[in-house]
Structure 1
Amino acid sequence: MRLSASHAVIAAFVLAAATAAPARAEETVVVAATGGAYEQSLRKSFFDDFTNATGIRVQVVTASAQEQITKLKAMNQVGAVTWDIAVLGDIEAHSNDVRAMTEDMGTFCQAFAERKDLLKGACDSSGAQLNSGLTYIVWDGDKLPNGGPTTWSELWDVKRFPGARTFPNFNDPWRVMAAALVADGVAPSDLFPLDIDRALRKLDALKPHINLWWKTGDASQQGYRAGEYVAGMVWQTRASVLLKEGRNLKFSLKEGVLVSDRATVVKGGPNKANALKLLNFIENSVDGMARHCTNLGCTPPSTAAMEKMSPEDQANMPIKPEIYASLIIPDFEWINANRPLMLDRWNTWLQK
């Protein structure tokens, strides 16, 4: 029988995912997550301790958020789900597409309802929050020794702060559009619904100066090391790695884009019981949460974990009222409903 092109693509996705399937399901849990420093921190902070405590091996499949969603859809279409947990951004985790492919975790979360240390939303029907962090402004302290841009409007000011810029481009353009609107004078609290036309007009002015459109966190780090940009928008978790390397990287918490990562349990996964054991272990591992966010410069979903972190690390969390009030907070519902429109407009703009 000859497969159609679409079926061939689906089969290829499933075959690739199947290579990560465990040989002994009762002793394994398969987690899909982004790789690099993030995966390493998950291993050192949670996964290795979980394996030592339970004997259950955590096998990680590396994929971006959009790759995870595409592969989950492919696996569901052919009825061959080989993943147990997908670690996604909060926005993706709450989308209708992902909710249809993941378990409702409401009952699981009831066990933690009395935990006073857990922040609001740390555990909800979509899954368990692993960390929160900013996508924020960074600059090279060597190339801008007298100070760099601390707001989005200043990042657009290439005369005052000369040098190449960097922004993300990984099929999720809402945060770049939001930053452009704030640079154009829109208050963070008034961003949604996003004025896409106005955002793209503002980006027109900066586009000639954008030297690196990074698609992965590792690419943003390597771009800095290689001197491909002087300032721009980078994930806080990846900037922290550069800081730990001793790089003279500077950053601003002001007007940062607040995003979270959430572990979801995949419907039909071969090791659901082990997946729930792992998430239960993580929710109860305050020390692990503290290590994870010390490694990555993020904010844990527990105040008890925050207290275990150094004063220096706590100072990098956007929890001060004056900083928090300036943050860009995503509107999950609007972003998920308008994602295809934004992506179409974005890709058209990039190709101009």
Structure 2
Amino acid sequence: MVLSKSWKVGAVAALILSLAACGATSASEGEDVTLTWANVGGQEAEREKAAFHDPFTEETGIKVESVAFSNLIAQLQKMVESGKPVWDVVHNVPYVALKYCGELLEEVDYSDFPDVFPENTTTDCTVPAGKFGFVYAYDNEVYTDEVPTELADFFDTETFPGQRVIRANNPRGYLEMALLADGVAPGDLYPLDIERSLAKWDTIKSDLIFVPAVAAVQQALVSKQATMTMTISTNLGAAFDAGATISPVWDITFWDFDVFMIPKGSPYKDEAIEAIKFALQPERQIENAELGGNTPVRTDIDPATIDFEGSTEFNPFIGDDRGELILFDSAWWAENLESASESWVAWQAG
């Protein structure tokens, strides 16, 4: 059979397009691959290098370079719009993915992963990584005869006088806690009534210390500038280990999870998936937790069996005396983070 010239040209073009498509998501044979893994930097980057990156490189030969992001969404938008994403894996929170799934982030095929994730922790563009709590704590050297036992006590400055330290730039958790303390039932929280929450915060505004980051929360507790706080559980553990004389209040506690995601157009999507699958192996998750990271999100890992570095007193997933646990509504925060943050900052300035 004689093939026409036009058929030959078409076949060659199709082959080239097919090869180009393959090359767009995975390395060419023999290519020396280095994945770029973006996270918040600092201790998290050090932990992930030890627990995930170095063992992955040793097993696969694929190198991993860790970089810290400063403005995640803006950086993602710029690199995706340019058609030249320089990150292959991002470790952050899920509400970013819910808002930008398919636009700035690749969709994930869950058939590649084991069915070991808690309900409501998977999305089309993310894989759960670890979990943590948002916990209320107080200085046990200041409050001795009568101690806080419920969320309402945080807002009772007559019975429990003293400065409270909270983050200035992120209202997540604070809006929910104030509404619960004001009598809203957990099942009726969302959509959040921001105006009502800020009115509750306004009742103790003169007793609040606003700080820009979790590290400053820790410093205020250790130095006894503040006698109460609400913050991330791992931050409380670090403060305790640094000398803060604090105890948790197990009334109603929120929990959340962080996620792995892949920027849209990553040239090494297939390798990124392999790196994420590796990081989710039980031994990798446990080592990360033992180095000070979040509690493994996998349901087949018992947190009580992990030799965590430092105190576990503030870990809401260990023990049966941790009160009621509520998962943050990431879908609500995906839609409302910007407006809620603007209201939070404007209230502070008012």
TM-score category by the smaller chain?
Answer: 0.7 to 0.9
Specify the alignment match of 2:60 in structure 1.
54
Where do 1:164-175 residues align within 5 Å?
164-170=163-169, 172-175=170-173
For residue 110 of structure 1, what is the amino acid of its counterpart?
S
Q: Which residue of 2 aligns with 1:305?
A: 301
- Secondary structure in 2 matching 1:346: helix
* Partner residue, 2:27: none
In the TM superposition, what is the alpha-carbon distance from 1:146 to its structure 2 partner? 4.4
Mapped contact 1:84–1:275 kept (Cα < 8 A): yes
Q: Which amino acid in structure 2 is aligned with residue 76 of structure 1?
A: V
- Residues 1:72 and 2:73 aligned together: no
Q: Which residue of 1 aligns with 2:159?
A: 160
Q: Secondary structure at the match of 2:264?
A: coil
Partner secondary structure for residue 300 of structure 2:
helix
Provide Cα deviations, 1:78-118, integer angstroms capped at 9, x if missing partner: 333211111121222222x254211110x2x21334x4x54
| TM-score computed with the length of structure 2 as normaliser | 0.80
Taking only the aligned residue pairs, the percentage that are identical comes to 24
Give yes or no for contact 1:134–1:258 (8 Å, CA) kept in 2.
Answer: yes
AA matched with 1:27: V
Relative distance call for 1:147 and 1:343 in structure 2 (3 A) is: same
Q: CA deviation at 1:147?
A: 6.1
DSSP 3-state at the match of 2:57: helix
- SS of match in other structure, 1:304: coil
1:34 to 20, 37, 40: 40
Contact 1:306 1:314 in 2 (8 A): no
CA deviations 1:125-164 (Å, max 9, x no partner) are 2222111111111222333344643432111112222221
C-alpha change, 1:200 and 1:138, in structure 2 (3 Å) is same
Letter in 1 for 2:136: I
Q: Give the 3 Å change call, closer, same or farther, for CA 69–320 of structure 1 in structure 2.
A: same
The question of whether the paired residues in 2 share the 8 Å contact of 1:29 and 1:59 is answered with yes
Q: Aligned partners of 2:270 and 2:313: how far apart in 1?
A: 35
Over 3 Å counting, the alpha-carbon distance change for 1:217 and 1:43 in structure 2 is farther
* Residues 252-293 of structure 1: per-residue CA shift (max 9 Å, x gap): 34322211100101112243233112101012x202212323
Divergent runs of 4+, >6 A = 319-322
Q: Contact 2:113–2:277 (CA<8 Å) still a contact in 1? A: no
1:1-352 pair list within 5 angstroms = 26-63=32-69, 67-95=71-99, 97-105=100-108, 107=109, 109-113=110-114, 115=115, 117-120=116-119, 124-146=123-145, 148-170=147-169, 172-211=170-209, 213-283=210-280, 285-296=281-292, 298-306=294-302, 308-310=305-307, 313=312, 316-318=315-317, 323=322, 326-352=324-350
Q: CA deviation at 1:313?
A: 4.7
| Contact 2:278 2:284 (C-alpha < 8 Å) held by counterparts | no
TM-score (norm 1): 0.80
Equivalent position SS for 2:158: coil
Q: Is the 8 A contact 2:133 2:315 kept in 1?
A: no
Partners of 1:181 and 1:174 in 2: how far apart?
12
Q: Secondary structure at the match of 2:91?
A: strand
How much does 1:297 deviate? 6.8
Q: Is the partner of 2:256 in helix, strand or coil? A: strand
Decide whether aligned partners of structure 1 residues 58 and 191 sit closer, same or farther in structure 2, where only a CA change above 3 A counts. same
CA distance, structure 2, for counterparts of residue 234 and residue 314 of structure 1: 14
Corresponding position of 2:11: none
Distance of aligned partners of 1:200 and 1:77 in 2 relative to their CA distance in 1, 3 Å threshold: same
Cα distance per residue 1:195-230 (max 9 Å; x no partner): 11111110111111111x233332322332333311
Q: Where do 5+ consecutive residues of structure 1 fail to align?
A: 1-24
- Give the match's secondary structure for 2:137: strand
* Structure 2 counterpart SS, 1:234: strand
Q: Is the 8 A contact 2:34 2:62 kept in 1?
A: yes
Q: Report the structure, 1 or 2, having the larger helix content.
A: 1
Task: Please say which structure displays the higher CA radius of gyration.
Answer: 2
Deviation at 1:166, TM superposition (A): 1.2
Alpha-carbon deviation of 1:178? 1.0
Give the secondary-structure state (helix, strand or coil) at the position aligned to 1:100: coil
How many residue pairs align between the two structures?
A: 318
Conservation of the 8 A alpha-carbon contact between 1:163 and 1:209: yes
Work out the CA distance in 2 between the residues paired with 1:336 and 1:303.
25
1:99/1:244 CA distance change after superposition, 3 Å: farther
Counterpart contact for 2:132–2:315, Cα < 8 Å: no
**Which one-letter code corresponds to 1:305 in the other structure?**
I
3-state SS of 2:129 partner? strand
Cα deviation for residue 306 of structure 1 reads: 1.9
